[in-house]
């Protein structure tokens, strides 16, 4: 009987722990460190830190949202959002479970599917503990108030630089920048 009570107590503790995580309760230092590692090797900062694609990442707005958009043919231009816990411009109102669902299932808490430029299908293979570690790390960051531009529909003119994939012939037909003055390095 004592063994059964111990098993029941352990089961209740595990369920309680999962519920606390899903509710956005405090995470352990180990979870946050694991999340930082996973965010780093996954390159999340590439698409979610302003200045990164322009060669001058803004460390003061780390993961605070990009200033460059991705053109998705047939859909428009999408800018990597603010991943910090700012309540107005970032993930501050998301629970840890909602962050996990977004990165592993491509579903935002607002019911919108994430565009394919966000590699959620690759992240779908994360273990639950690794996905929660990423959420823990993101929730541990200092909030950065930074509203990114967009998204921009197909017929809208983006207000940001845009990365696009296009056939070589289309690229070759784009206007060329003026040649640098004679005697200057390229």
Query: Which tens digits make up the pLDDT trace of 143-166?
Result: 999 999 999 999 999 999 999 888
What pLDDT score was predicted for residue 171? 82
- Distance CA(20)–CA(26), nearest Å, equals 8
With a CB cutoff of 8 Å and minimum separation 6, the contacts of 24 are: 95, 96, 139
* Position 9 pLDDT exceeds 60: no
Query: With pLDDT > 90 as the criterion, what percentage of the chain qualifies?
Result: 68
Q: What is the pTM of this model?
A: 0.77
| Domains of the chain, earliest start first | 24-165 (1.10.760)
- Indicate whether 29 pLDDT > 80: yes
Cβ partners under 8 Å of residue 169, min gap 6? none
Question: Which pLDDT score, from 0 to 100, does residue 15 have?
Answer: 38
Condensed to tens digits (0 to 9), the pLDDT of residues 64-117 reads 999 999 998 889 999 999 999 999 999 999 999 999 999 999 999 988 899 989
CB of 59 within 8 A of CB of 144? no
CA distance 78 to 152: 7
Widest distance between CA atoms in the chain = 89
Tokens of 169: 């012939």
User: Which of 12-28 are b and which e, b meaning 16 or more Cβ less than 10 Å from the residue's Cβ?
Assistant: eeeeeeeeebeebeebe
């Amino acid at each position: 009987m004592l063994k059964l009570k111990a098993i029941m107590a352990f089961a209740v503790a595990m369920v309680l722990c999962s519920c606390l995580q899903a509710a956005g309760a405090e995470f352990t230092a180990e979870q946050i460190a694991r999340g930082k590692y996973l965010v780093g090797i996954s390159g999340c900062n590439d698409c979610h830190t302003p200045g990164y694609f322009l060669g001058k990442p803004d460390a003061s707005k780390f993961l605070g949202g990009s200033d460059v958009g991705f053109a998705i043919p047939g859909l428009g231009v999408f800018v990597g959002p603010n991943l910090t816990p700012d309540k107005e411009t970032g993930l501050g109102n998301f629970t840890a479970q909602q962050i996990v669902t977004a990165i592993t299932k491509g579903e935002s808490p607002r019911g919108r599917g994430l565009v394919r430029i966000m590699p959620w299908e690759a992240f779908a293979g994360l273990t639950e503990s690794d996905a929660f570690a990423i959420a823990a790390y993101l929730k541990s960051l200092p909030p950065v108030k930074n509203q990114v531009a967009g998204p921009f529909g197909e017929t809208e003119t983006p207000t940001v630089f845009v990365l696009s994939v296009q056939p070589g012939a289309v690229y070759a037909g784009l206007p060329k920048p003026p040649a640098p003055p004679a005697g200057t390095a390229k």
